[in-house]
Amino acid sequence: MGQQKLVGRRILIGSDDSAFAFRLSDALGAAGAEVIYPANTIEDILDMIMSSSRIDAAILGLSVQGEVTFVAAENLGRRQIPFAFLIRQNAPDIPEEFEDIVQLETSGNLSNMVRLLQTLIIRAHRIRGRGEGLGIGEA
């Protein structure tokens, strides 16, 4: 990755695909991020989101352990935390309120995912700096 584009940024990975999550964690770490992991159940994901810990961005599987993660997505939106969904085969349908959220395939390029997270964080910071809300569809 070369540059440390995400130095000091805390990224939550919520996925039950451990092999992918560890590869993504390594890529984010190489870019300087502090990865908040493992969060491989909906309870763990919600606990992390609802804690007072800072989260700068998140990557969230559409489902973990067979449970959809839309309640976690709603909470990320409320806390104005930018996030993207991880998409796998046989993924559940995405509700209309989340149609504008970036969707990443687990088979995708990890470098592109790192760049996307950096873009999401920068965009969220600019929106907050203007005093605007970060709506769920804007993440």
**Average pLDDT for the chain:** 86
What are the pLDDT digits (tens) for 3-60?
Answer: 567 999 999 999 998 899 999 999 999 999 999 977 899 999 999 999 978 999 999 9
Q: Cα–Cα distances in Å, from 6 out to 27, 86, 120, 122, 126?
A: 11, 19, 11, 10, 16
pLDDT category at 125 given cuts 50, 70, 90 is: confident
- Which residues, in sequence order, are CB contacts of 28 under 8 Å at separation 6+? 6, 11, 13, 35, 114, 117
Q: The pTM is what? A: 0.85
Q: What percent of the chain has pLDDT over 70?
A: 88
By C-alpha distance, which of 112, 134, 110 is closest to 122? 134
Which token pair is 14? 């919520």
Name residues whose C-beta falls within 8 Å of residue 90's C-beta, 6 or more positions apart in sequence: none
Q: What is the DSSP letter of 89?
A: T
DSSP string across 10-69: EEEEE-S-HHHHHHHHHHHHHTTPEEEEEE-SHHHHHHHHHSSS---EEEEESEETTEE-
